[in-house]
């Protein structure tokens, strides 16, 4: 799905995490809002992005940086009673531009 929108990211938890408020337009959907808490779990050595959306969805995406600009995260759970897996790659192009697939 094609996504266009803005993410407003600010520090959280005394700088150990980040808070994101995303307002997006997603192909085939109405206005979409997502709030994320982002942090790193040193025990698992994974980045976590815990999301709550205006569609009543919650996801805990987990993943790793593959290089200085690319973060890959995965969420596995249920959607409409069936197993669901979502894989997202976020590429940071600049402080004001990210692309995810």
pTM: 0.86
pLDDT for the residue numbered 71:
96
Q: Does residue 2 carry a pLDDT above 80?
A: no
* Structural domain boundaries, residue 66: 3-100
For the chain, what is the mean pLDDT?
Answer: 92
Number of domains observed in the structure of the chain: 1
Res. 5 pLDDT band, cuts 50 70 90: confident
Q: What is the pLDDT of residues 12-28, one digit of tens each?
A: 999 999 999 999 988 88
Secondary structure of the chain in HEC code, one letter for each residue:
CCEEEEEEEEEEHHHCEEEEEEEEEECCCCEEEEEEEEEEECCCCEEEEEEEECCCCEEEEEEEEEECCEEEEEEEEEECCEEEEEEEEEEEEECCEEEEC
Check pLDDT > 70 for residue 60: yes
User: What's the CA gap between 52 and 14, in Å, rounded?
Assistant: 21
Q: Count of alpha carbons within 13 Å of 53, Cβ hemisphere only?
A: 14
What is the band of 1 on the pLDDT scale with cuts at 50, 70, 90? low
């Amino acid at each position: 799905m094609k996504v266009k929108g803005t993410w407003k990211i600010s520090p959280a938890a005394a700088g150990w995490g980040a808070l994101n408020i995303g307002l997006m337009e997603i192909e085939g959907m109405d206005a979409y809002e997502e709030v994320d808490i982002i942090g790193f779990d040193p025990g698992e050595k994974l980045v976590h992005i815990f999301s709550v959306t205006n569609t009543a969805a919650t996801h805990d995406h987990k993943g790793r940086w593959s290089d200085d600009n690319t973060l890959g995260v995965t969420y596995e759970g249920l959607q409409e009673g069936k197993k669901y897996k979502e894989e997202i790659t976020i590429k940071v192009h600049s402080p004001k531009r990210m692309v995810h697939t």
